Each structure stands twice: as structure tokens, then as C-alpha cells.
Chains A and B, each alone.
Chain A
Amino acid sequence: MNCLLLEVRLYSGLEKFVAGATYGKPLAVELPDGANVKELLAKLNIPEVEVFSILANGIHRHLEDVLNDGDRVALFPPVGGG
């Protein structure tokens, strides 16, 4: 079976769900072909309710959206400022 290799960054506290992860430091994550964001969160053990913004290559995505090989994925809890 083919695999996806993703470059994942966790921010603003989400990094605490993954042992050894640091905010903003890219993690290499492998998933089966056709995997979506939900499966990525499951693999990382990040509860879905904690994740508010999902960006893949700078574009907002949903939990059901399928990811592509090489995607730069960034996950955020609710954040704001101004």
C-alpha cells in the first residue's frame, strides 16, 4: 500500500498531546494513502474537540478532507488577537 508523508506542525498547546513534540517544530507523519485529517488526529492522539483550525499548505481544511503526500499541515486550537 502507498503512503502519505506529511509535514505536521502543532501550535498553541496542541503539541502537549504528542510526546516529545515542540510547538512549531515539523513532525514527519506517515499515513495510508487517502487518509483524511481525522485519521491524522487519531494517529497523533489529539482529541478532535481541541482542534479549531486546520491549515494544509495555507488553506483552511475540514476534518473529513483528504490529505496529499507532502502536505504541510498546521493545527491550531482557537486563537485570536489583533
Chain B
Amino acid sequence: MLKFIRIDMTAKKVTVEETPEKYLALGGRALTSQFILDEVPAECHPLGAKNKLIITPGLLSGTNAPSSGRLSIGGKSPLTGGIKEANAGGITSQKIANLGIKAIVIEGMADSGTYIARVTADNVELIPADDLAGKGTYELTSILLERYNPKAGIICIGPAGEMKMLSAGITNNDMEGNSSRYAGRGGLGAVMGSKGLKAIVVEADKTFDAPVKDKERFKAAAKKFAQILIQHPVSGDGLPKYGTNVLMNIINEAGGLPTRNFSTGRFDAANEVGGEKLAEVATARGGKATHACHPGCVIRCSNVYPMPDGKVCSPIEYETAWGFGPNLDISDLDVVAKLNYICNDVGLDTIEVAGTLGVLMEAGALQFGDGQGAITALEEVAKGTPLGRIIGAGAAVAGKVYGVTRVPTVKGQSIPAYDPRSVRGNGVTYATTTMGADHTAGYAVTANILKVGGFVDPTKDGGQIELSRNLQIATAAVDATGLCLFVAFAVLDNPEGLPTIVEMLNAQYGTELTVDDVTALGQQILKNEREFNAKAGFTKADDRLPEFFYEEELAPHNTKFDLKEKLDEVFNF
């Protein structure tokens, strides 16, 4: 039996049910989005008792399929007002799957107090934990590891989530106990905080022993898939060497690096905060240029960056380095690391905070280039001061508070590290994804800049709608499997990639899925999410970029974003 756990925070009651038939074949984003559509009233207040959080491993999580330990968290987003699936690496997904748990649902809300949940092989309990209220995620995680089990996976929120800030994320730990693996986007940390739940401790001895129907067949497919990943130059060589931040220089050279709050596409000092520099400094200080966020990842895109204060920031991702670097006119990697660390500790999405600080600098409330000023401002979040709360509320709110018009958000969520005017495929994705601006939802940077999965000219409109559509469908399906999205580089270029994923699924579940079924699954996920968003009040007008992208030219290519009505064709399927 696959367990379906419900934690009712109103009644303080835990129920362990058998997984409903309807959800048995679903996992990851396929399950979170179906469940939210089924059980959460679209018009509910995201921070009220009717919203629910669902936490679920992907379909392949907990097996030895390479890079398959992704965790999906779903709910109605307080940041966008729409449906949300945020997914994270870290060690917890594999543990949940190895406990035979399909999903953990958090519903209702406690009228007062702070609680944690403890999940073990034979028990789930809700424990009052007022002593842990207000703790940063690093301290909280180390207390819980010591209190319960040093090998546990700890899913938790920081003070930002407890204060119900719209940019609060939910994190979990890596193998070294760093609480830095975020389901970051869309404010799901505030939803967890609104319910009174501070952490979930997941204890499991096993990592790769989730049930598999045909073990031999699965082993052969998993081995083949590992080969496909290792043989691809990006997942086998580029990502392990320099991590995701290797993108900094190529996006800059291509003229798509949003600089000074999206006012230009190149940053003179990009190289100072890029992946090459990061690898050099991290290694010189005894850190690591390559690191796996969970056991069994063969790509190992992560890093360990020792900071001058003796603490460690792990990882620094490209989007974060961009957001606290070029976006703020900051060229000091130590400042980037510090801002990243504070976000991890207080419990905020780094991309949203980066967007917000950019808007505050645009407003003159902070100065572009002033790293220390940014650090001091970010430290206000934990104190819950008015400035701290504005920072925690995200770029759209900050823009309104300060009367700024250049606010790079879609559906209330900040646009990440690729300017839509010169990486237009990603512009299409930002505008149309159900998630609010999200680069991972249909990562057209592949064909636009990286020449993976074909080439589509990044400064022209031709081919971008189809590119984004196909990527959004494929991504939704990948997000259901628990595979890290970075398998996509190899899967897009190798015709055996997708069939091998399907082979793993069939071997594990005894199914007869075909490649077409996987496409259909991706489409169904998007349809479910669109249905929820429509019920929540979203219209075509929400599938557009902010006005300034249509009106201000971006150097060096001096391009504007053009697509409007055509964007509605993305969902023609």
C-alpha cells in the first residue's frame, strides 16, 4: 500500500490513508496540480484554512534512476494567486518515497502555536514546538537533526514563512545538512507558515529501495540513462565543472543578461561573478566546484562556496548570482554569497528577493552597486520591520509601494536571469506559464543561446511560440518524474533519452506507457493548471509581459519584445 498522509492542522490530527486510485499513477507536479485542482477552492485565500499544501516525490524518486530525487510541493500561491508547483533537490524526496509514502498533505490551520511533524517508517506525529518559533533554517535544521536523527531529511521554513511573507520558500537539506535546497518560488513557505507548521522531519534508512516491479529491467534502463547523461557534453562535462553559473558569461556575451533592474543586457563585470570565478575561489578556499544535491545525481551541478566569515553557502546558482550580481550592479562574489545565505536562513526565494532589491534600487530606496546596503536591508526581514516586510513581499508589491514602473514580474512573480527582449523564447515562457514568470517552466535558453535541442534565433520571434509550447509540455512531464530538469540537455539531443525514461517508468510500475503518453501527461498537467488559474480569475491579459519590455529597447541588440496576441497560441493543443 502506498500511504497518503493528511495532517489536519485545525484538529491537530494525522490520518494515514491508502492512496486513492486516481492518484496512484501520478507523482511530482502531475500529482500536486491534479490534487490542488481537486481539493483547493480556486477562489480561496492562499493564507487561509482552505488552502492545502501537498508534498510529493516524483514518480522515479527513491529508486536508483540517476538524478531522480526531486521533491514537488504544490498549493495555491500567495504571490501569484494561481496554482503553484515548486520543486527542490535535497535528500528528503528519496526518503519519503522509501517510506512508501505517495504524498503528505497539510490542511486546515492551527489557531496558535508552532508545530513540527515527524514522519518515520511506522508513525506520523504532530509535535508542539514553540521553542523553535522564529529560528533560521540553518539552526533549526541542525537542532532537529540532533534531536531526532542525524540522517533525517528536514523540510522547513524560516522566519519569513512564519511571518507569511509572499516570497517565502520551503527548504530541505542536502547530504551535509545545509538547509539550502529550496522549493523557492511562489511563496509556499508562507502557506506552510500560515498553517502553523515549522518543519517536517522525515526519517528513513533507505535511499534507493522504493518498490520496483521489474528490477532487472529497471536496472538496465537506469544504467543506460546514466550513460546518456554522462555522454552529453553539458550534463557530463560543463555542469559538473562549473555548475549552473557557467551561464553568466555566455548570457552576458549574448546580450541577454538583465543588468541594473533590466535596463541593459550586458554587465561589464559579469566575469567577476561567473561560474569560472566561483569555481576558482571556492576551490582555493577549500570548497567544491562540483557537488551533488542528493545521493545518486550523476550531473552534480552544485557547489560549496566558503565565505569569508567561515560559513558556507552551498550552492550559489546562476540565477542567484545574476540576481544579486548584475541585476544590482554588484560584482563581488562574497556579497552575492552573503545575500544568498541570508535568504536561505530567513527562508526567502533568492530570485524574488533579487527582483525586489532591483526595484528598490530603481526607486532610490537603495543604491545600485551598494552591496553592504543590500545586506543591511535584507537583514531587516528577520526582524519583521516595515522595510523587511516590503522586501519579503516581492518585487510587484515593492514596485507598488514605491511607485516604480519598471517592475519585471509576470502574474506577480519576478522574472529571472534572461532578458525576454533578447532571449525571446524565454519571454514567451515567462508570459504564458501557469506559474508566474519562471525560467524553468519552458527553458528556451537551450535552443536560443546554448544550441541544445536545435537553434532558434533569440532576437527574432519566429519559432519561439512552438519552442516554448513544446518545452512547457515536456517540462511538466519531467517535473512529474522526479528527474532533475537538467536531464533535459541530454534528453533534447539524444533520441534515446525520452524512450529510456519511459522504459524506467514502465519497469518500475509495470505499465505500458509510450512516449506519446508522456506528452499527453505533460499536456494534461498544463490543462489542469490552466483550469485552476481560470477559476482563480486569470485571463489572457495575465499572459503578457510588463509594458516596459514592449516599449524600452534593450542594448546591445536594441530589441523590444513584440509578441502579444500570438502568445495565446502557446496553449493550442
Mark each residue of chain A from 1 to 39: 1 if its CB lies under 8 Å from any CB of chain B, else 0.
000000001011100000000011100000000000000
Chain A residues with Cβ under 8 A from B489's Cβ? 80
Q: How far is the CB of B240 from chain A (nearest CB, A)?
A: 11
Contact between B318 and A12, CB atoms less than 8 A apart = no
Q: Which residue of B is nearest A56, CB measured?
A: B253
**Complexed CA–CA distance, A13 and B274 (Å):** 13
Q: How far is the CA of A39 from the CA of B233 in the complex (A)?
A: 24
Structural contact, A79 and B234, CB atoms closer than 8 A: yes
> Nearest-CB distance from A75 to chain B (Å)?
9
Segment at the A interface, from B11-19, B129-137, B438-446: B438-446
Whether the pair A60, B455 counts as a contact (CB closer than 8 A) is: yes
**Is B250 positioned at the interface, with any CB of A under 8 Å from its CB?**
yes
| Given known A-B contacts A52-B451, A53-B450, A80 and B247 have beta carbons under 8 A apart | yes
Q: Would B439 and A58 count as touching, CB distance under 8 A?
A: no
Q: Are A80 and B254 in contact (CB under 8 A)?
A: no
CB-contact partner of B246 in A9, A12, A58, A74, under 8 A: A12
Question: Which residues of A39-82 have CB atoms within 8 Å of chain B's CB atoms?
Answer: 52-53, 55, 57-58, 60, 72, 74, 76-82
Partner of B244, one of A57, A58, A74, A82: A82
| B451 and A60 contact, CB distance less than 8 A | yes
Contact of A81 with B253 at beta-carbon distance under 8 Å, contacts A24-B274, A24-B276, A58-B557 already known: no
Assess the B253–A58 pair: CB atoms within 8 A: yes
> How far is the CB of A4 from the nearest CB of chain B, in Å?
19
Query: What residue in chain B is nearest A74 (Cβ atoms)?
Result: B253
> Is the beta-carbon distance between A52 and B233 smaller than 8 angstroms?
yes
Q: A12 and B241 in contact (CB under 8 A), knowing A74-B253, A82-B318, A82-B486?
A: yes
Question: Which residues on the A side are within 8 Å of B253 (C-beta)?
Answer: 9, 11, 55, 58, 72, 74, 76
Q: Is the CB of B485 within 8 A of A24?
A: no
At the interface, yes or no: B237 with Cβ under 8 Å from chain A?
yes
Query: How far apart sit A12 and B353, CA to CA, in the bound complex (Å)?
Result: 28
Do B271 and A77 touch (CB < 8 A)? no
A55-B253, A74-B253 given as contacts; is B239 within 8 A of A81 (CB)? yes
Residue in B245, B249, B271, B556 whose CB lies within 8 Å of A58 = B556
Complex alpha-carbon distance, A12 and B245, angstroms:
11
Asked if B506 is at the interface (CB within 8 A of a chain A CB), the reply is: no
Indicate if the CB atoms of B450 and A80 lie closer than 8 Å: yes
Smallest beta-carbon distance B292→chain A, Å: 15
CB distance from B346 to the nearest CB of A (A): 25
Q: Are B271 and A80 in contact (CB under 8 A)?
A: no
Query: Which chain B residues lie closer than 8 Å to A74 at the CB level?
Result: 249-250, 253
Q: Which residue of A lies closest to B457 (CB)?
A: A60
Residue numbers in A under 8 Å from B110 (CB-CB): none
Question: B254 touching A82 by the CB < 8 A rule?
Answer: no
- B340 interface hit (Cβ, 8 Å): no
Q: Using CB atoms and an 8 Å cutoff, list the residues of chain B in contact with chain A.
A: 233-235, 237-239, 241-247, 249-250, 253-255, 266, 270-271, 274-277, 301, 317-318, 422, 439-440, 443, 445-446, 449-452, 455, 457, 485-486, 489, 556-557
Sample 14 A-B pairs with CB under 8 A, ordered by A number. Answer: A24-B271, A53-B449, A53-B451, A55-B250, A58-B266, A60-B457, A76-B253, A77-B233, A77-B238, A78-B234, A79-B450, A80-B239, A81-B239, A81-B244
Residues of chain A at the chain B interface (Cβ within 8 Å): 9, 11-13, 23-25, 52-53, 55, 57-58, 60, 72, 74, 76-82
**Beyond A58-B422, A76-B253: 20 further Cβ-contacts under 8 Å?**
A12-B249, A12-B276, A23-B276, A24-B270, A24-B277, A25-B271, A52-B233, A53-B250, A53-B449, A53-B450, A58-B266, A72-B253, A74-B250, A74-B253, A78-B237, A78-B238, A80-B446, A80-B486, A80-B489, A82-B439
